[in-house]
Chain A
Amino acid sequence: MKIGFKIAAALLATVRIDLRRPHPCAHERVGFISAGLSAVGDDVLILARSYRPVLDQDYLRDPSVGAMMGPEALRKALQWAMQTGAALFHVHTHGGRGLPDFSSVDLRGARRCRSKRWRRESTAARHTFIERFTQVGAPIVTWRAA
């Protein structure tokens, strides 16, 4: 299964600007992109809808990582997903351009979340690498996995 991700240029610009804002205690910001999904044969197309930043007060102080979300941030995100029926993508940036990828901290966090309970309740939640990322605007810009 290959994954394509499409996002309107204006929304991507909003996300980038928001994630660059300094935070009172964390080294970086995090947020969530909501999206609709579509099947293209076996492949899946992710179609971004909107963005919500994690509120300042919903971060935890953790010097071992750039940013650590607290339980309230996750609760709000899950509620958002359930109410709208949208897929949610947790995003942060270390700068750069091109195809989004996971940092080593993301992957470590993912391993920590591999509890049986989580797996049972969220069978669809996976770390899957994006093969094609498209910024839809003028011009249309596409990055592909090498």
Chain B
Amino acid sequence: MTRFDRQSFLGSGSEARLDEATIGLVGLGGGGSHMARQFAHIGIGGYVAADPDAIEDTNTNRLVGGTLRDAAAARAKTKIARRMIRGLQPHARIVTVCDTWQHATEQLKTCDIIMGAVDGFAEREQLERFARRYLIPYIDIGMDVHDLGKDGFLISGQIIVSTPGSLCLRCCGLITDERLKEEAGKYGAAGSRPQVVWPNGVLASTAVGLAVQLLTPWHPHPPAFTFLEYDGNSGTVSVSAHVEALKGRICPHHPPDETGDPFFDIRKHLEGIEQRPASLWRRALRAAKAWFDGIFGSRSTQTV
């Protein structure tokens, strides 16, 4: 018996597959902390978690794993996530970056999936563009509370799965130039937005389910693109009406020729490796290889 026996329906080899996988978690607040905990529950082995903030009193209404003591100590959200993951996955490969995700790009580019739980449209667009550049599926969640005046409040949200080659956040209409412009105009004066724990939970749980679909064979035909909308007032998650309208469309926003580092030069990369002073054991290995090659002849086919 292992602690994963109850999820064996995910498919043969799924436990190893989940353990091998590395998930990028960008934003460890209300949504991201939920996802971190759930990924640890299902046995994800690798994490790259980035968030620049420390927990505050006002976060404790929704940040899963955070305690009042953490808030009093102004503990970094990355530390809370690490502690929470370690509690379930003691041997997990965890990289935490207590800074903006732009300081974690080297680690994020090695991820199998990136989960975005960030505020703001510009942030989302940059993160999705980064994920596309490195051919990484990006799953975005977001929620908002709208004041409807005398009709009260509306809680809404969305979950979008954006895989390379499929439709993106712009295709869905989530990112628009108008929204980016409006957001840029509010820079520094956005104030704190209303957030509560249960919509974050619904969105995070759904997103984790979609990520597991991408990683394990339990679902016979997982979609490469998903756009789900959450209506917190009626308590429903449903496929967005945009999906039908977007059928057959090809994403024009992320051309495939954008993959890779823009100025990468393999010659410089190889030179850098070769010119680096080798460690003692590596030098010994090279000397042994030269001696071996001198006696038996070198192995062929290294340079074309």
Contact = CB atoms under 8 A, between A and B. Distances in A.
B256 A50 contact: yes
B304 A110 contact: yes
B250 to A, nearest CB: 10
Interface in A1-35: 1, 6-11, 34-35
Contacts of A39: 261, 264, 269
A139 B266 contact: no
Nearest to B260: A36
A125 B215 contact: no
Interface stretch (B84-92, B130-138, B290-298): B130-138
Contacts of B216: 139
Given A47-B135, A124-B267, A127-B304, A139 B222 contact: yes
B264 A49 contact: no
A48 interface: yes
A interface residue count range (under 10 / 10 to 19 / 20 to 34 / 35 or more): 35 or more
Interface in A30-73: 34-42, 44-45, 47-50
Interface string B276-304: 00000000000000000000000011111
Contacts of A142: 20, 112
B214 interface: yes
A126 interface: yes
Contact of B213 (A40, A86, A138): A138
Nearest to B211: A140
A119 interface: yes
A136 interface: yes
Contacts, number: 121
Contacts of A110: 301, 304
A138 B220 CA distance: 10
A107 B216 CA distance: 35
Given A10-B165, A110-B304, A138-B214, A50 B112 contact: no
Contacts of A1: 270, 273
Contact of B259 (A9, A35, A113, A118): A35
Contacts of B232: none
Given A118-B304, A140-B112, A140-B214, A40 B106 contact: yes
A98 interface: no
Determine the interface band of chain B, counting residues with CB < 8 A from chain A. Answer: 35 or more
Name which of B106, B221, B260, B273 has the most chain A CB atoms within 10 A of its CB: B260
A86 B280 CA distance: 36
B163 interface: yes
A37 B304 contact: no
Interface in A111-139: 111, 113-114, 118-119, 122-127, 134, 136-139
Contacts of B256: 8, 11, 49-50
Contacts of B224: 9, 137-138
Contacts of B261: 36-39
Given A48-B135, A49-B260, A138-B214, 11 more contacts: A8-B135, A10-B165, A34-B257, A35-B259, A36-B133, A39-B264, A47-B260, A114-B303, A127-B301, A138-B213, A139-B215
10 nearest CB pairs, A to B: A36-B260, A47-B259, A36-B259, A8-B165, A138-B222, A124-B266, A138-B224, A6-B135, A38-B261, A49-B256
Interface of A: 1, 6-11, 34-42, 44-45, 47-50, 84, 86-87, 107, 110-111, 113-114, 118-119, 122-127, 134, 136-140, 142
